Chains A and B, each alone.
Chain A
């Protein structure tokens, strides 16, 4: 059963068409890595999934439940959109932690406001998440007291606290110093063993190859090529994919 089904998503900003018919699906526990050159629409797609942008056309379904349909999108209420967002989590490139809250407060804020469980349960869960991302000794620190890698791990724990069906990452390591990317990628890798369904936009080819079950190569708002990592990396079919991969290999 597909956890996520995205069908024929279109999105324009004014006259400029950014997404031109994106369709894919994800099974439970699958990790999808999205690669592609700058401006190809990867961030826009993740923002559509998290209802930060409204697609012009297409459908989004989670666990067979239709959450979004371009046909009836106008009629969606703010409350429906908010409910839909709970199916997804998003980890931003720049972490976007809440500066006035400590690590544990950042993680437990939304569960408390949304009253998901008792104070006690929320607290316990937050502590467990903090331990899982390896920050138990930093639970009362404020974001400015943490390194970028630590902040990003808190952001991941914060997104997990609400138990989303699909967790999305938008270039989670590209704002980090190279020596800090490893600790964040390791956390994501660990999540895979817990059967988390994830969509990861990344420039880390090595990571995509080793962790993802499925790769999407995006170019100019379309899925140029999609398949298991062996296929995309060893036997790319499209010329654009080949060009992109050889270029990103050069950079390394």
Chain B
């Protein structure tokens, strides 16, 4: 439980958003309390990370949350709980109550460090046009800020996460960089498959809405340690950040090929690194403290405290209730949990937008056998993508997407290589040298693409709360309503066509198959498509210029409560086609700056009052 009676800032959530806040504020001598719902030793001992690794090795089904044990006092969704939904009967199998009609396919992690413990680490910037979706294409909403406004904060986020990329590769579709800018580290080597595809697809063009687009394979910026760029920061260079508690480990990505669910050496960024870099003299982290209510002063609108439930053990539902108080408050508990907390407290919701506009990147997977061996199951999950169709006029009519080129064969869609072993041994009766060779041959040809399809903000895609559905500590379980609209399905259809064109061009044999029995399945113009979740929860407390249609102002502060900031992907008005965390981290740096500005302004105010008194 917390130590001080009063903090300068109380932060809810110890994921990347909360960690950035804690780091930025503590280095400006603000006394910060971080309340974290999940388990975790605040001193971040390396052994406790190894325990996660061991859990992963021993997990029979290695889903993203496999290393991070389910904790009934701070439950988390699991992709194993998703299933087709038959409204009005909700799917209540896991933590979520999914009312559908479509299944929301993503998970997140509730443990100190949050979901970046198992993120992949893709760190793309949004395109400039993504900030103007409405004015350009009449879809969704515009952001209240532009790409250029965010540019300096992107740079801060890229430093914090430690991004490896080459600027030369990233200048497409209007993406631009500060003069002379380089990323902290050079790009992560592209996989052999990437290079093979680059060559084979060089002359392929595809059409969308009657317009031709190249199929250009481009290296992907990643939050994992590569070779430092000596030109970084005007020649200062960059020192990669290794494992927390074992800084000699993880200085470079070693190709463990398990970024999701866990990087064994922490070459991949996770929020522990930012927590460890906060100023320890000013930060207090308390775990096993689940925020349950935001307390507000009815007349002033100021937030007065965070009520939280502290439990001693995950094995028991026993808890004690406490209130943490501070001058200012930051909610950084993840898009779903932030919205839930606000709804449960009935705060910050003048607009009625809290919990609405929930988005994800439904991922359309396609998989095939290539005529040549390209060495899958080696290296980071994805080192390149095809971004050439991330933007364009077609967005007026259908969703854009980015193609992720995967380095792990059919692991995601079919569970290879396990499934391949089963197929050969049980299905085909193979054994001995023949089995060994055949397995090599089929795996070596496996290729898998993922199309991360855009969704639009939709007020009916939302998280709500319902007293009928509570968790063990008596906190609300998220109730999810979710529909894949035709706009997104049009994106699926276009994606599948492009996938077909690519596989044709490669002389690959397409094995993609979608079934109505899949958890996420839609039919569009007579064709069925199955999608997975990307883990990109976006939109539940969006920013805007109008307090009637948005939850936070452009400075990321609640319209309704002057001492409350919200951070996380919930602030993003649209999702576009980039994995959201880099943009969200940039926004969080911006929020930290603004919060510090508020503090400074208060000081000036207080000083003025004092001098008025003195006179």
Asked if A pairs with B, the answer is: no
B-to-A contact residues, CB < 8 Å: none
Report which A residues bind B (CB closer than 8 A).
Answer: none
